[in-house]
A and B are shown apart, each in its own frame.
Chain A
Amino acid sequence: MKIVVCIKQVPDTEAEVKWDIPKGTLKRDGMNPITNPFDEFALEEALLTREKYDGEIVAITMGPEKASDVLRNALALTVNSVYRCTDEAFAGSDTYATASVLAAAIKKIGDVDIVFCGKQSTDGNTGVVAAELATLLGWSPLTYVSKVRQIDAASKKIVVERAVEGGTEVVEAKLPAVVSVIKGINEPRLPNLIGIKKAAKVEIPQWNAADLNLDKSKVGSAAASTKVVEIAVPPPRGAGEILKGEIDEIVNIATDRLIDLKVIKS
C-alpha cells in the first residue's frame, strides 16, 4: 500500500502569532515552527496503517526551507521518504493553490492508495485543503474521519467512521481516497533517538514548479481564487471595571448593568 501524508508547518500554538498586516500573511521569520497538531494525527494514522497493512509512507509539505523541520520529524518517525515542494512562484498560495501543488506532488509520487491529512491547520483554519485535494485528484473525499475501520487495497475499498453533528457516520468509499482526520483518532507517538539520529543527517529532497510540471503562471498568488484583503488583530481586552462602595450599592449597580446587557431580566 502506498500512503501519502500531507504535513504543514505552523507557528507554535503556544507562542504569540505575529502578522504582517500590509501583506496579510503570517510573519514566519523567527517563529518556532511545529508540525500542525492535526497533521500529527494524520502522520500517526499513516504509521498505524503501514503497521497493519504494510506498504510505504511518503510525507510531503509545501513551504520554505524552514518547513524541512516537519519532514525531518516525519523521517524520525520512520516514514519512508519525504519531499518539500518549494518555489518562489508558490508564494501567496491560498488553499486551492496549495492543493494544486500537493495534488501535483501526489501524481508525481504515483500509485498512491491513500492520502492522510489533518482536518485543518491551526494557523489558517480553513479546513478545505483535503476536500480540494480529493476534487483535484478525482478521488474519494473522506473528511472529519474519527476512525479507519478497514482498508482493502486489493479490492480498492475503504471503510471509515466520520464524526458528524451528534453522531458517527460509517462510510464506505473507493480507493484512492483523501482522508482528513480529527483530533483523538489516535495517540501520536514521539520519535526515538535512533530515528532522530537517522533523520538528522538526511538531505530533504525538493520539488519545484518545473519538477511538478506546474505552469508558473498557474500557481501561487496567480492561481489563488481567494485573496486576503485585510488582517485585523483583535484589540487587547481592556481591564474590567471594579465597582467600589457599600455592598448593597454595588449589587444594585451590577444588577442594573446585567439588565442593560440583557443577561438577566428585570
Chain B
Amino acid sequence: MALDFDLTEEQQMLRKMVRNFAEKEIAPVAQELDDKEEFSYHLTKRMGDLGLFGPFVSEDYGGSNVGYISYIIAVEEIARIDGSQAATLAAGNSLGIAPIYYYGNEEQKQKWLPDLCAGRALASFGLTEPNAGSDAGASKTTAVLEGDYWVLNGSKIFITNSTTDMSKVCTVQAVTGKRADGRPEISCILVPNGTPGFTTKTMHGKMVWRASNTGELYFTDCKVPKENLLGRRGDGFHQMLATLDGGRLSIAAMGLGGAQGAFELALKYASEREQFGRPIGTFQVNAFKLADMATEIELARLLLYKACWLCEQHRPFGKESAMAKMYCSEMYHRVVNQAVQLHGGYGLMKEYPIERHYRNQKLLDIGEGTSEVQRIVIARHIGVPGRAL
C-alpha cells in the first residue's frame, strides 16, 4: 500500500490542538490586534508554549522534530483564523529558525535555537532590500572582513519579526566580495539585535498582516565577530534559495488555511442569510460558488501535502513547493473573493472576519517570491529553455 492519505494520530491530534488554540485564543482578539496594528507577545509566547516553534528541529535544540506535514498543519490551522499570527509563526520557523538550524555550526545552534524553539525569542531573515526584491541577487548590503570582525553597511526592508522586543537576531544576506567569475560573493551573517550600528524601524500602515511585525533594518559600520558567519563564506545565495524552498511551503499553508477559513465563513453565512425568502446558499449560483471553493481547496491541499511529503522524504521538492506556493496563494484569492461576494455589503465591514481574510490574502501573491517569480522557478524546473526571465 504505497498511497496513503491518512494523517497520523499525531498529526490529527496536533490539528485538533492548534484549531482549539486558534479558535479560543486567537479569534477573540484578532480583529482588535489588526485594528491597532499590534504585535501580540502573548500569542507568540502561547505558540511557543504549545511547541509550535521548531517543528522540524531536533529535540537536542528544543524542537519537537515532528516533521514538515505537522508544521504545515499548524500554520494552516492558524491561518484559518488569522493571517497575522500565522505569519509570525511561519516566518519565525521558516525564515528565523530554519537557516540557523540547517546552516549554523554547533555553537550558533546551541546559542540561538533553544530560545527560538521555546518562543522566548524570534529570529528574522534579512534578504529584501529597497532595490533588491525579486532580484534578490542584487543586494547592496556589504560585509567586509576587518581583522576578527565583519563590518556591515546597507539596509533591508519588509523583514518579518525583526523589530519586536523579542527579536534577538537577524540572518543578514550581504555581499562579502567578488567571485572568480566576477559576480558578487554573497554570504549570510548572524547579526544580533542591539549590536551597535544595527538600527531598526517598525513599518506601519500595512494593508495586510497588520498584527505581524515588519521592519526596516539599517547597518552603519555595524561590527560583529567573524564567527557570526553562517555556514561557509559565499554560500549565502544558495542558503537563501534553499530557505525559500522551505519557506514557500509555509506560505502555501497560509493560503490553504486562509482559504479554508474564508470558505467556512462563506458557507455559514450563505446558510443563514436569507433573501427572497430563502437562504442565499440555496440559490444554485451561490451553491456552485461554494462547490468550486471546496474543490479548489481540496486540490490545493493535495498539492501542498505532497510537496511536504517530498520534503520529509528528503527528495527534491523545489518545483512542487513553488507550485504549491503559487497555487495556494492564488486559490485563496479566488476563494476569498467569492466569499466576500457571498457576504454582500456585510463582507466589506470589519465586523466580519471575511474582510480581514480579503486583505491578508494579497500578501501571499507577493511575499517570499511573487507569483511571477514562482512561475520562473517552475519554468526552470520543467525544462523551459533559457532562464525564463
Tell which of B9, B20, B64, B70 touches A194, judged by Cβ atoms closer than 8 Å: B64
The distance in angstroms between the C-alpha atoms of A192 and B9, with both chains bound, is: 15
> Would you call B51 and A194 a contact (CB within 8 A)?
yes
> Would you call A196 and B8 a contact (CB within 8 A)?
no
Q: A60 an interface residue at 8 Å Cβ cutoff?
A: no
Q: With both chains docked as a complex, state the minimum distance between the C-beta of A199 and any C-beta of chain B, in angstroms.
A: 7
Q: B235 an interface residue at 8 Å Cβ cutoff?
A: no
Give the interface segment out of B10-18, B84-92, B157-165, B365-373: B10-18
Q: B49 an interface residue at 8 Å Cβ cutoff?
A: yes
Interface centre among B9, B13, B17, B21 (most CB of A within 10 A): B13
> Would you call A73 and B13 a contact (CB within 8 A)?
yes
> Would you call B20 and A197 a contact (CB within 8 A)?
no
Q: B50 an interface residue at 8 Å Cβ cutoff?
A: yes
Interface of B is mostly: helix
Within 8 A of B (CB), among A181-203: 190-197, 199-201
Contacting residues, chain B, for A190 (C-beta < 8 A): 17, 20-21, 50
The distance in angstroms between the C-alpha atoms of A73 and B14, with both chains bound, is: 10
Q: B222 an interface residue at 8 Å Cβ cutoff?
A: no
The distance in angstroms between the C-alpha atoms of A72 and B52, with both chains bound, is: 19
Q: B55 an interface residue at 8 Å Cβ cutoff?
A: yes
Q: A76 an interface residue at 8 Å Cβ cutoff?
A: yes
> Would you call B8 and A200 a contact (CB within 8 A)?
yes
> Would you call A72 and B13 a contact (CB within 8 A)?
yes
Interface of A is mostly: helix
Contacting residues, chain A, for B52 (C-beta < 8 A): 193
The distance in angstroms between the C-alpha atoms of A12 and B66, with both chains bound, is: 27
> Would you call B9 and A193 a contact (CB within 8 A)?
no
> Would you call A191 and B13 a contact (CB within 8 A)?
yes
The distance in angstroms between the C-alpha atoms of A8 and B17, with both chains bound, is: 18
> Would you call B20 and A193 a contact (CB within 8 A)?
no
> Would you call B13 and A192 a contact (CB within 8 A)?
no
The distance in angstroms between the C-alpha atoms of A238 and B82, with both chains bound, is: 37
The distance in angstroms between the C-alpha atoms of A194 and B21, with both chains bound, is: 16
> Would you call A76 and B13 a contact (CB within 8 A)?
yes
Contacting residues, chain A, for B14 (C-beta < 8 A): 193, 196
> Would you call B66 and A197 a contact (CB within 8 A)?
yes
Interface centre among B21, B55, B64 (most CB of A within 10 A): B64
Q: With both chains docked as a complex, state the minimum distance between the C-beta of A13 and any C-beta of chain B, in angstroms.
A: 13
Q: With both chains docked as a complex, state the minimum distance between the C-beta of A252 and any C-beta of chain B, in angstroms.
A: 26
Question: Contacts A197-B64, A197-B66: A192 and B50 contacting too (C-beta < 8 A)?
Answer: yes
The distance in angstroms between the C-alpha atoms of A195 and B13, with both chains bound, is: 10
Question: Contacts A200-B9, A200-B10, A200-B13: A193 and B21 contacting too (C-beta < 8 A)?
Answer: no
Contacting residues, chain B, for A200 (C-beta < 8 A): 8-10, 13
Tell which of B13, B21, B49 touches A196, judged by Cβ atoms closer than 8 Å: B13
The distance in angstroms between the C-alpha atoms of A72 and B10, with both chains bound, is: 10
The distance in angstroms between the C-alpha atoms of A52 and B238, with both chains bound, is: 51
The distance in angstroms between the C-alpha atoms of A201 and B10, with both chains bound, is: 8
> Would you call A199 and B13 a contact (CB within 8 A)?
yes
Tell which of A73, A192, A197 touches B10, judged by Cβ atoms closer than 8 Å: A197
Contacting residues, chain A, for B50 (C-beta < 8 A): 190, 192-193
Contacting residues, chain B, for A194 (C-beta < 8 A): 51, 64
Contact with A along B15-54 (1 / 0, CB 8 A): 0010011000000000000000000000000000111100
Contacting residues, chain A, for B10 (C-beta < 8 A): 196-197, 200-201
Interface centre among A72, A193, A199 (most CB of B within 10 A): A193
Question: Contacts A73-B13, A76-B13: A193 and B8 contacting too (C-beta < 8 A)?
Answer: no
19 extra A-B contacts, CB within 8 A, seeds A76-B13, A194-B64, A200-B9: A72-B9, A72-B13, A190-B17, A190-B20, A191-B13, A191-B17, A192-B17, A192-B49, A193-B14, A193-B64, A193-B66, A195-B51, A196-B51, A197-B10, A197-B64, A197-B66, A199-B13, A200-B8, A200-B10
What residues make up the interface of B, taking CB atoms closer than 8 Å to A?
8-10, 13-14, 17, 20-21, 49-52, 55, 64, 66, 70
A–B Cβ pairs within 8 angstroms, 11 of them: A191-B17, A192-B49, A192-B50, A192-B51, A193-B55, A194-B51, A196-B10, A196-B13, A196-B51, A197-B10, A200-B10
What residues make up the interface of A, taking CB atoms closer than 8 Å to B?
72-73, 76, 190-197, 199-201
